Amino acid sequence: MRTPKAQPIEIRDESIRLGQLLKLASLAEDGLQAKELIEHGLVKVNGDIETRRGRQLRAGDVVEVNGEAVQIESAG
């Protein structure tokens, strides 16, 4: 399956937790939905399924959920 073109998403700090990013990027409506998406193996980070909600993400990382993808960019 082809990876969708990642849309850029800017973060203020050096890193962001996966659960927070899902909400920031509107890939999840709230923390509960983010947790469920991650627990059910529906979230990929850099092409691999990620099951840790607290995974630290940095500039360049690509997060994919349900055919939508975002790539993290640093504001600094």
Q: Give the integer Cα–Cα distance in Å for 11 and 33.
A: 21
Q: Is residue 57 part of a domain?
A: yes
Q: Is residue 17 part of a domain?
A: yes
Looking at residue 1, what is its pLDDT? 43
Looking at residue 14, what is its pLDDT? 94
Q: Is residue 69 part of a domain?
A: yes
Q: Is residue 21 part of a domain?
A: yes
Q: Is residue 2 part of a domain?
A: no
Residue 39: strand, helix, or coil: helix
Looking at residue 28, what is its pLDDT? 97
Looking at residue 75, what is its pLDDT? 80
Looking at residue 5, what is its pLDDT? 87
Q: Is residue 60 part of a domain?
A: yes
- In this structure, the chain runs to a length of 76
Looking at residue 4, what is its pLDDT? 62
Q: Is residue 15 part of a domain?
A: yes
Full residue range of the structural domain in which residue 29 is found: 7-74
For residue 66, what is the domain's CATH number? 3.10.290.10
The total number of structural domains that make up the chain? 1
Residue 10: strand, helix, or coil: strand
The tens place of each residue's pLDDT in the chain, 76 residues long, gives 445 689 999 999 999 999 999 999 999 999 999 999 999 999 999 999 999 999 999 999 999 999 999 999 988 6
